[in-house]
Amino acid sequence: MHSEITFTLDGERVSVDCNPLRRLLDVLREDFNLVGVKEGCGEGECGACAVIVDGKLVNSCIVPVGAVNGAEILTIEGIKKTEIFGKIADAFAQMGAVQCGFCTPGMIVATYAILNQNPKPSRKEIVEGLSGNLCRCTGMNIIIEAVEMAAKNIAR
C-alpha cells in the first residue's frame, strides 16, 4: 500500500509516495541520500539516527514515515547550515569528542536540541539531553564537556 507523504526536509518541501510504515531513517537515507543519518541499533537505544521533528529530538529508526506527514524535519545536513553548527563542531574537535565518528551526527543533533531548548544548559541538562545517545569510542564525559564548551563559545 502506498500513500503520498509530504513534509519539510531541511527547509525544503518534499514528498514521497511509498509504504507509510517505512522507517523515516530509511526514507532519509535511501530516497534523499542523507547518509549522515546513521543506523546503529535500529531500536531506539543509541541515537545515531536522531533527527529533529517539529522542534523535537526523535530517533528516526522507529518513526514510520506516515507519522511525519506535514511535519518539519531537520537532519544533520540542515543543522550544518545553521550558525551554531560551526561552534558545536569546533568544540567536538577541540575536546577530542570524535573518534570513529559514527555516533557524531546523532550527538550533534542532540546537542543542537539541548542548546535550542536552553542556550545555557546545566551539566545535568546536558547529561539528560545526551542520555539517549551512545558512543563506543570516546567517553561520554568528553562529549559532555564538548557540549559545555560549545554553549560557552556560542554565548560569547
Ligand X SMILES: Cc1cc2nc3c(=O)[nH]c(=O)nc-3n(C[C@H](O)[C@H](O)[C@H](O)COP(=O)(O)OP(=O)(O)OC[C@H]3O[C@@H](n4cnc5c(N)ncnc54)[C@H](O)[C@@H]3O)c2cc1C
Q: Does 16 bind another protein (CB under 8 A)?
A: no
Q: Does 149 bind another protein (CB under 8 A)?
A: no
Enumerate residues 6-25 that contact ligand FES by CB under 6 A.
none
**Least distance (Å) from another protein to the CB of residue 19?**
5
Among 101, 139, 152, 155, binds ligand FES (CB under 6 A): 101
Whose cell is 533527527? That residue is: 51
With residue 52 as reference, give the H or E element that holds it: strand 50-53
Which residues, including other chains, have CB under 8 Å from residue 28's CB and lie 6 or more apart?
Answer: 9, 34, 37, 51, 60, 73, 75
Q: Does 42 bind ligand X (CB under 6 A)?
A: no
Per-residue contact flags (x/-) with ligand FES for residues 55 to 74, judged by CB under 6 A:
----x-x-------------
Query: Measured between alpha carbons, how far is 126 from 21 in angstroms, rounded to an integer?
Result: 32
Contact between residue 151 and residue 119 where contact means Cβ atoms under 8 Å apart: yes
User: What residues make contact with ligand FES under the rule CB under 6 A?
Assistant: 39-42, 44-49, 59, 61, 98-104, 135-138
